[in-house]
């Protein structure tokens, strides 16, 4: 899932994301709550309509972002008081208000409010934090159930949309453009077929495998349609991340989506998919792109380096994205060195394309494995 923090994947318009084959985007509740505000998004019909994105969206609970405001937050049983990174104003998130915010934003998948345990932490601290997350998971579900029908899709009329098909009959050349727009509009209509969101639970427990097991079992007892593994990628060594994921996965039902939060590099997403992870999100492809770091089939490329100044080759000879088909490394290097906005756009499009291609190959491999009955494991050839 590409990360679209503020209802935007930085630098990439929604139609390009569709063309790249993005099926689901992640939005950050903390950021959207501060700007433009949940009420504003709700009034505008929810995130899908606001950002003109007809495909799926997942929002996080805000817990992780608040967790990263180390000096600006205070955690109690009730919830978390925090200061905005924008203007220092004081705010409060509880499991209940995090549910209200996510219902108001109206993503398809929303997350229980959790506490992300810091690393490193003593076992007592990991236990205490895990227990708090479990109590908050129960409160999240208890609040979500009676309020889940309040999603903005259920409360928006179609008249205000101004869809072209409703205004006039298409003629001649206008037909295909109008059809396209009407298709988009229909995606922005109230989602009658999907009347509520799916609330996922989050497993915590720090780096302690026994606590992870307990957290998984008790989160399953509360009961959610999908489960996430949270509290990783918080500074621990990569080997430890893998160990915790592998061990936690054993305790999560294979017939429900299993979501690993905040991971990872192209190699890691293949590795975790092979272990049984179904969903991942990471800022890496988009953030690295903006810093000129590009993932390719021939290894990582730092496009800012002078060695690419005269390189006429395409960025990645094995990539079919619109950037690799059209531009040379020399041009991309020039854009980056000149601080052109287009550098960020093109770099992000390629990196997202590379990640999505990687996951397409993984899915294809899983299907082949099912057909042939083999435990077909795909891995990207080493450069």
Give me the residues paired with residue 73 across strands: 82
Among 3, 26, 277, 321, binds Zn ion (CB under 5 A): 321
* Nearer CB in complex with Zn ion: 26/319: 319
Burial 182-220 (b: 16+ CB within 10 A, else e): eebbeebbbbeeeebbbbbbbbbbbbbbebbbbbbebbb
Work out how close the CB of 324 gets to Zn ion at its nearest, in angstroms, rounded to a whole number.
3
Number of neighbouring beta carbons within 10 Å of residue 147: 14
For Zn ion, give the closer residue by CB, 178 or 358. Answer: 358
Annotated catalytic residue, options 108, 114, 281, 357:
281
Residue whose CB is less far from Zn ion, 110 or 323: 323
**Closest separation between CB of residue 298 and Zn ion, Å?**
12
CB of 353 to Zn ion, least distance (A): 5
> 196 vs 328, which CB is nearer to Zn ion?
328
Establish whether 311 is a catalytic residue.
Answer: no
Of positions 98, 282, 319, 352, contacts Zn ion by CB under 5 A: 319
Number of H helices, E strands in the chain: 16, 12
Residues 336-355 that bind Zn ion (CB under 5 A): 350, 353
Distance between CA atoms of residues 172 and 166, nearest Å: 17
Binding part of the chain for Zn ion, among 123-131, 208-216, 318-326, 366-374 by CB under 5 A, reads: 318-326
| 249 alpha carbon, distance to own chain's centre | 20
Q: Which is nearer to Zn ion, 279 or 324 (CB)?
A: 324
Give me the residues paired with residue 189 across strands.
Answer: none
CB of 323 to Zn ion, least distance (A): 5
Nearest to 252 by CA among 282, 223, 232, 281: 223
The residue among 148, 247, 144, 140 whose CA lies nearest residue 202 is 140
**Closest distance of CB 350 from Zn ion, Å:** 4
Catalytic residue among 60, 108, 114, 357: 60
The full DSSP string for 83-144 is E-TTT--EEEE-HHHHHHHHHHHT-SEEE----PPPSS--HHHHHHHHHHHHHHHHHHHHHH
The neighbouring-strand residues paired with 81 are 74, 92
Burial label, 261 (beta-carbon count in 10 A; 0-12, 13-18, 19+): buried
Q: Does 329 bind Zn ion (CB under 5 A)?
A: no
Q: How far is the CB of 321 from Zn ion (least distance, A)?
A: 3
Among 324, 346, 352, 362, binds Zn ion (CB under 5 A): 324
Strand partners, 294: 301
Nearer to Zn ion, 81 or 328 (CB): 328
CB contact at 8 A, 249 and 257: no
For Zn ion, give the closer residue by CB, 212 or 350. Answer: 350
Length of the chain: 383
Task: Choose the stretch contacting Zn ion; rule: CB under 5 A; options: 103-111, 208-216, 319-327, 336-344.
Answer: 319-327
Min CB(139)–Zn ion separation in Å? 45
Task: For 266, list phi and psi in degrees, rounded to 5.
Answer: -55, -40
- 60 belongs to the catalytic site: yes
Contact track, Zn ion, 271-310, x by CB under 5 A = ----------------------------------------
**Site residue total, Zn ion (CB under 5 A):** 7
Residues tagged active-site: 60, 281
Q: Which residues bind Zn ion (CB under 5 A)?
A: 316, 319, 321, 323-324, 350, 353
């Amino acid at each position: 899932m590409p990360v679209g923090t503020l209802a935007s994947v930085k630098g990439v318009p929604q139609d390009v994301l569709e063309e790249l084959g993005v099926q689901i985007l992640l939005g950050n509740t903390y950021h959207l709550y501060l700007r433009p505000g949940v009420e504003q998004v709700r009034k505008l019909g929810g995130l899908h309509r606001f950002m003109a994105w007809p495909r799926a969206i997942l929002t996080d609970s805000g817990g992780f972002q608040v967790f990263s405001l180390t000096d600006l937050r205070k955690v109690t049983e009730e919830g978390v008081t925090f200061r905005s990174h924008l203007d220092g104003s004081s705010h409060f998130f509880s499991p209940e208000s995090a549910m209200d915010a996510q219902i108001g934003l109206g993503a398809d998948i929303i997350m229980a409010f959790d506490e992300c345990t810091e690393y490193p932490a003593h076992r007592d601290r990991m236990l205490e934090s895990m227990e708090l997350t479990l109590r908050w998971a129960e409160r999240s579900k208890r609040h979500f159930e009676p309020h889940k029908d309040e999603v903005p899709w259920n409360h928006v009329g179609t008249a205000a949309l101004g869809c072209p098909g409703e205004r006039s009959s298409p003629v001649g050349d206008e037909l295909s453009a109008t059809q396209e727009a009407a298709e988009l509009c229909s995606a922005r209509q109230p989602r009658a077929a999907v009347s509520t969101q799916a609330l996922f639970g989050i497993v915590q427990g720090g780096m302690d495998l026994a606590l992870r097991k307990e957290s998984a079992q008790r989160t399953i007892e509360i009961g959610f349609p999908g489960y996430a593994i949270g509290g990783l990628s918080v500074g621990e060594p990569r080997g430890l991340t893998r160990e915790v994921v592998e061990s936690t996965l054993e305790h999560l039902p294979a017939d429900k989506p299993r979501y690993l939060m905040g991971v990872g590099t192209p190699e890691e997403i293949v590795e975790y998919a092979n272990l049984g992870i179904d969903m991942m999100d990471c800022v890496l492809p988009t953030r690295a792109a903006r810093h000129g770091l590009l993932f390719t089939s021939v290894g990582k490329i730092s496009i800012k380096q002078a060695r690419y100044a005269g390189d006429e080759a395409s960025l990645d000879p094995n990539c079919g994205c619109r950037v690799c088909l059209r531009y040379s490394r020399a041009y991309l290097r020039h854009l980056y060195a000149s601080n052109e906005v287009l550098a960020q756009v093109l770099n992000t499009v390629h990196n997202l394309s590379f990640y999505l291609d990687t996951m397409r190959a993984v899915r294809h491999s899983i299907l082949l494995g099912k057909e042939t009955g083999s435990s077909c494991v795909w891995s990207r050839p080493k450069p």
